[in-house]
Amino acid sequence: MLRGMIFRQLFDAESSTYTYLLADPVGRQAVLIDPVFEQHQRDLAILRELGLSLTHTLDTHQHADHITGAWLMKKAVGSKVALSKRCGASGVDLPIEHGNVIPMGHYAIEVRATPGHTDGCVSYVFADRVFTGDALLIRGAGRTDFQAGDAATLYRSIREQIFTLPKQTLVYPAHDYAGRTVSSVEEECTHNPRVGGEASEADFVGYMDNMRLPHPKKIAAALPANGRCGEPEDGIVAKVAEWGPVVATYAGILEIDPRWVAEHRDAVVLLDVRTEQELTGELGKLEGCVCIALNELRDRLEELPKDKPVAILCRSGRRSAMAMQILRKAGFDAANVAGGMLRWRALDLPAS
Amino acid sequence: MLRGMIFRQLFDAESSTYTYLLADPVGRQAVLIDPVFEQHQRDLAILRELGLSLTHTLDTHQHADHITGAWLMKKAVGSKVALSKRCGASGVDLPIEHGNVIPMGHYAIEVRATPGHTDGCVSYVFADRVFTGDALLIRGAGRTDFQAGDAATLYRSIREQIFTLPKQTLVYPAHDYAGRTVSSVEEECTHNPRVGGEASEADFVGYMDNMRLPHPKKIAAALPANGRCGEPEDGIVAKVAEWGPVVATYAGILEIDPRWVAEHRDAVVLLDVRTEQELTGELGKLEGCVCIALNELRDRLEELPKDKPVAILCRSGRRSAMAMQILRKAGFDAANVAGGMLRWRALDLPAS
């Protein structure tokens, strides 16, 4: 890998899909390969926490087993949607084809057409790694029995576009179903039971034409949605919260900016979960707070009104994150006030 | 990462456990960190296919949520079992403690004691990465409510032993439950909601003491088994197959050596799944074979006797791998003859 380059592999357990984050460590420009709709908040959080600016989402093809997060990301951060011209999808900002290069800060990602699983499949080559989508999988290959799939075409794509890369090139596929995360061109050339070693085109076609897999569970929803790059039919997406600028962190915590809370005290119930002793300490406490120490919270939930969302504070925002999880489990709409009393005081926000 | 170093991250979806393979690319010596009992065949296959010699299994601690694959690996390939002295487990070959170094070919792995999740937890440091077990998780930390766990101890372990590593150090934990595969010391110092940023020891303890998680599902079986480093009570493990030297490949195919098949023709049903046309070609066919082309196999299963295991051939061993999956699904005991007719002929094995 290029020195210092930012790289993250992310997994969606529901569809066994891998999403990849690549970023220039200096300019902080990032791309996401194959983002998943349902993982939007997680992926948004890692971009935010690493201080990255997403320039493109790159789908390897029009997926049939999950809905892409491309449109959601575009809506959230203005990233450009890249997809093969051949997919014929609407909402594509960068219709790509074989030989294109996609900029990522000071670097560039090469597009190689690798059709066969679908007609519009591409692989992305960057530095010492190739992102193969559903063309080449670890010890496998994408099915070829729908979406204009063709086993002979896939055989040639893998042999001519992927196996011709340097043998140490790392292979990162769009899926794995056995807990394998990465392979190499050399490994797949040697050990792929479908397309590696002495497998001829006829061997491969014979194998692929006899798989008879059931259709993906989500195909009826995924194909039309991905034909719009993941835009919902009504163009509407549920927000993390309607009542304020709540964001989900990569840790899965819902957080709200203390400045917003200070300006909208009437819109929320303020809950402080520090111990009684701390409330009289140096940091003091906010006026009008409900005070219930974290270790008593589970037993005293009935003291909290349910007609407003709950904004939770502690010293530094750690225990209140735990409290947020307890409250949400109990059916409350709740968010952690980011940074707790420490940040509240550092920002010089009013106590009343 | 050191140039050329072999590294693989592997996932067990059942227990959300990560296993790590590290190997010296020259001498081919390898270690496995936190192998999982049920993934033994997969892990054995990747070692074999990469041509690696496993010298040690390194458990980060005595796990409560899954059974270690350490004993199985020792039995299979003679690897040494490394575990902290403090775990007090039987069957440990290398009882380790803080400051030890474990050789891996020309390299060495450093042991750091990181107690708190359990008393015997260690982290392993190698080059630009740290394997933190259940001490530091991505945006989390291991629970501290059993196995002599202690939140204050864990806070100090993470702060003093992990957060003091260079900030670009990659953090590879033993688990993740949200599809995250890796983090860095810098990221966790900044964004870990329990132990990062301004979290004090009291904040962390307050958080951890209020988690009230249910016990792991497998704890009753895992703890005693891991007290023996994964050795079953009767010391007996089901083999891949009883009838011959069948191995599972990393692709999940059961394969048998053609030399054994040639010497034990009476012990198996030989099935050739090539097309009729191929059977009269240059490679010829073996005497006494049942010949059913792969595309007809599903409809002609009743032609195969079930009283012997089925050894399956095709040209190169690809289509027969598909046939193996069809037969096993239909309840047959079947294995793919590795390398097919091509290897059979290359090895000059007899046709009758």
DSSP string, A165-211: S-TT-EEEESB-SSSB--EEHHHHHHH-TTTSTT--HHHHHHHHTT-
pLDDT digits (tens, 9 = 90+) for A173-221: 999 999 999 999 999 999 999 999 888 999 999 999 988 888 999 999 9
Gap between the Cα atoms of A179 and B21, Å rounded:
13
- With beta carbons less than 8 A apart as the criterion, state whether A237 and A44 touch: no
Rounded Cα distance, B100 and B291, in Å: 59
For position A308, what pLDDT does the model report?
95
Among chain B residues, CA nearest to A209 = B295
**Strand arrangement of the beta sheet that strand A122-126 belongs to:** A101-104, A107-113, A122-126, A129-133, A170-173, A183-184
Put simply, the answer to whether B206 touches A249 (Cβ < 8 Å) is: no
What percentage of chain B carries pLDDT values higher than 90?
91
Q: pLDDT tens-digit profile of A25-77?
A: 999 999 999 999 999 999 999 999 999 999 999 999 999 999 999 999 999 99
Mean pLDDT, residues B273-287:
94
Packed helices A201-208 and B319-329: angle between N→C axes, nearest 10 degrees: 20
Distance CA B252, CA B240 (A): 11
> Which string of b and e fits A133-143 if b means at least 16 CB within 10 Å?
bbbbbbbbbbb
* Helix (H/G/I), strand (E/B), else coil: B41: helix
- Locate all alpha helices (DSSP H) within B53-200, ordered by sequence: 70-77, 151-157, 185-191
The set of residues, in sequence order, having a beta carbon less than 8 Å from that of B214 and lying 6+ positions away, is none
- pLDDT recorded at residue A236: 86
Q: Do A49 and B178 touch (CB under 8 A)?
A: no
Interface mutation target, options A208, A319, A326, A327, chain B, most CBs of B under 10 Å = A319
Among A4, A11, A191, select the one facing B181 at the smallest CB separation. A11
List, as one string, the DSSP characters of B127-141.
TTEEEEETTEETTEE
Structural domains in chain B, CATH included, are: 6-226 (3.60.15.10), 247-346 (3.40.250.10)
All residues of chain A having their beta carbon less than 8 Å from the beta carbon of residue B170 are none
Residue A106, pLDDT score: 92
**Token output for B247:** 């191995």
Centroid of chain to Cα B172: 16
pLDDT in tens, A234-279: 988 888 888 999 999 999 999 999 999 999 999 999 999 999 999 9
Q: What is the overall mean pLDDT for chain A?
A: 95
What is the rounded average pLDDT for all residues in chain B? 95
**Partner-chain residue, chosen from B50, B207, B318, that has the shortest CB–CB distance to A207:** B318
Query: Residue B167 corresponds to which amino acid?
Result: K
Tell me: the pLDDT tens digits for A37-49?
999 999 999 999 9
Which stretches of chain B are DSSP H helices?
Answer: 40-49, 70-77, 151-157, 185-191, 201-208, 219-226, 258-263, 276-279, 294-297, 319-329, 340-346
**Mind listing the pLDDT tens digit for each residue in B184-230?**
999 999 999 999 988 899 999 999 998 888 899 999 999 999 999 99
pLDDT at position A1: 65
Contacts of B312 in chain A (CB under 8 A): none
User: What integer pLDDT is reported at residue B211 of this predicted model?
Assistant: 87
pLDDT at A3 (0 to 100): 75
Alpha helix stretches (DSSP H) within B61-149: 70-77
Q: What is the pLDDT of residue B1?
A: 65
pLDDT value of residue A212: 86
Supply A3's token pair. 């020195």
Q: Which residues of B284-300 are buried (b: 16+ CB within 10 A; e: fewer)?
A: ebbeebebbbbeebeee
Q: What is the pTM of this model?
A: 0.93
Note the pLDDT tens digit of each residue in A278-322.
999 999 999 999 999 999 999 999 999 999 999 999 999 999 999
Contact B249 A191 (CB under 8 A): yes
CA distances from A100 to A118, A122, A175, A216, A282 (A): 19, 11, 24, 30, 60
Residue A214 CB-density burial (10 A; 0-12 exposed, 13-18 middle, 19+ buried): exposed
Nearest Cα neighbor of B254 from B315, B320, B331 is B320
Element (H, E) at B334: strand B334-337
pLDDT digits (tens, 9 = 90+) for B45-103: 999 999 999 999 999 999 999 999 999 999 999 999 999 999 999 999 999 999 999 99
